[in-house]
Amino acid sequence: MNTAMCDPNWQTWVSRWDRMQERYLVARSEHFDIIARLIADTQTPVRNIVDLGCGTGTLTVSLLEKFPLVHTYGLDLDPTLLPLAHARSSIFADRTHFLQADL
């Protein structure tokens, strides 16, 4: 996926998306921490993580930060969100993969 296709102000759009999502899911970052702990406690070693409905990649990036050796695979149907997820995770480009898919 080409980040050049992403709006140059992608960070503004990601920030707006995150604020909107936080209204629907109170304590969203705490949920991400629980997900990471569940993965760490049940999967040894952690090599690959699939983020279904990855949206703008908030959870994906959180997991990449917590698991420095993991590769993530983000799937989402929305063609608008995937370039944002790709841009957001660009510092992890060698460990991230995104695919548009209808679950």
Q: Would residue 61 count as lying in a domain? A: yes
Phi, psi (deg, nearest 5) at residue 95: -120, 5
* Cα–Cα distance for residue pair 65/25, rounded to 1 Å: 21
Q: Would residue 90 count as lying in a domain? A: yes
- Mean pLDDT, rounded, for 11-32: 72
What confidence score (pLDDT) does residue 94 get?
A: 95
* Cα–Cα distance for residue pair 47/71, rounded to 1 Å: 6
Q: Are 51 and 59 in contact (CB under 8 A)?
A: yes
* Cα–Cα distance for residue pair 50/98, rounded to 1 Å: 10
Q: Would residue 77 count as lying in a domain? A: yes
Q: Which two tokens stand for residue 20?
A: 């909107």
The range of the structural domain enclosing residue 81 comes to 8-100
- Neighbouring residues of 45: CB distance < 8 A, sequence distance ≥ 6: 69
Q: Would residue 74 count as lying in a domain? A: yes
The domain total for the chain is 1
E-strand ranges in the chain read: 48-52, 71-76, 96-100
CA nearest to 77, candidates 43, 101, 49: 101
Q: What is the pLDDT of residues 61-83, one digit of tens each?
A: 999 999 999 999 999 998 988 99
Q: Would residue 60 count as lying in a domain? A: yes
Q: Would residue 75 count as lying in a domain? A: yes
Q: Would residue 2 count as lying in a domain? A: no
What confidence score (pLDDT) does residue 2 get?
A: 46
- Using a cut of 0.85, tell me whether the model's pTM lies above it: no
CATH code of the domain in which 12 resides = 3.40.50.150
Q: What is the pLDDT of residues 28-58, one digit of tens each?
A: 688 889 999 999 999 989 999 999 999 889 9
Q: Would residue 1 count as lying in a domain? A: no
